[in-house]
Amino acid sequence: MGLETTAPARLNGVPNLRSRTAVSCVRASTSESNNESEAVTRRQVMGGAAAVAATIATFGSPALAINAPKGYTAVLDNADGYKFFYPFGWQEVAVKGQDVAFKDVIEPLESVSVSIIKTDKSSLAELGSADEVAKALVEKVLASPSQKTQLVEAKERSSEGNTYYTFEFLAKASNFTRHGLGTVAIKDGKFFTLTTGSNERRWNKMSDKLKMIVNSFELLV
């Protein structure tokens, strides 16, 4: 399904996905809309010097701003409080309802996006188990109604006092199958969803990179 958003859905008290106002990010980059002439980037680019100053002020050392594994680029969003890595060379694109999104310009199904919505829940456990939450997301949010979905696996992990549900799924359309990975977390009244994936025909080649993306997603302490 690429990076297209689907019809709004409600997940056990989590409000519908909606667009957010642009926020300033530590990572400065330009972005272009892909096949969306009316779309405008969700991120306001900070000047180089200002971006470095903001990074140092927040993290204490400029090294932390570039501490990504070889072949990956780091995203550090101080305003919303999260970070993750994505493969070097992917381009930022504007996608309605997403806080940020990147994709491969040659293989458009190879992408990653982060959405943030408000929630009155204080923990993922209030929404259900990893299987329950992942199944609801895959069926109602991450695939279009015409696609046949399958939840492959869902599990829970913890890091720095935060809990994450991470899952693997398939979304089958008439002419392609997207093999996806996702991770969700809740903090400070916000429900975070990171989703990545590729065309099924390229899964064997991309799976390690996509797992790196999902496992790198962390909420900032």
**pLDDT score at 221:** 80
CA–CA separation, 51 and 67 (whole Å): 16
Across the range 167-196, mean pLDDT stands at 97
Contacts 24+ apart (CB under 8 A), 33-39: 33/93, 33/94, 34/93, 34/103, 34/105, 34/108, 36/94, 36/96, 39/94, 39/95, 39/96
pLDDT per residue over 202-211, tens digit each?
999 999 999 9
| Residue 7 belongs to a domain | no
Residue 52, domain member (yes or no):
yes
Tell me the HSE value of 137 on the side-chain side, using a 13 A CA sphere: 31
Mean pLDDT value of segment 128-143: 97
Instruction: Name the pLDDT band for 216 (thresholds 50, 70, 90).
Output: very high
- The amino acid at 92: E
Give a yes or no: residue 80 inside a domain: yes
4 within some domain: no
Specify whether the CB–CB gap between 26 and 78 falls below 8 A.
yes
Task: Flag whether 10 is in a domain.
Answer: no
Strands (E), 82-161: 82-87, 91-92, 100-103, 111-118, 148-159
Q: What percent of the chain has pLDDT over 90?
A: 68
Q: Check the CA dihedral 34-40-46-48 and report its sign.
A: positive
**Which domain range does residue 134 map to?**
23-219
Give bridge partners of residue 153 from the DSSP assignment. 168
Q: pTM of the predicted model, to two decimals?
A: 0.73
- Residue 189, domain member (yes or no): yes
Q: Give me the phi and psi of 58, to 5 degrees please.
A: -85, -45
For residue range 142-158, what is the model confidence (pLDDT) as tens digits?
A: 999 999 999 999 999 99
Question: What is the number of structural domains in the chain?
Answer: 1
Tell me what the pLDDT averaged over the chain comes to: 78
Query: What is the CATH number for 27?
Result: 3.40.1000.10
d(CA 122, CA 73): 30
pLDDT at 179: 98
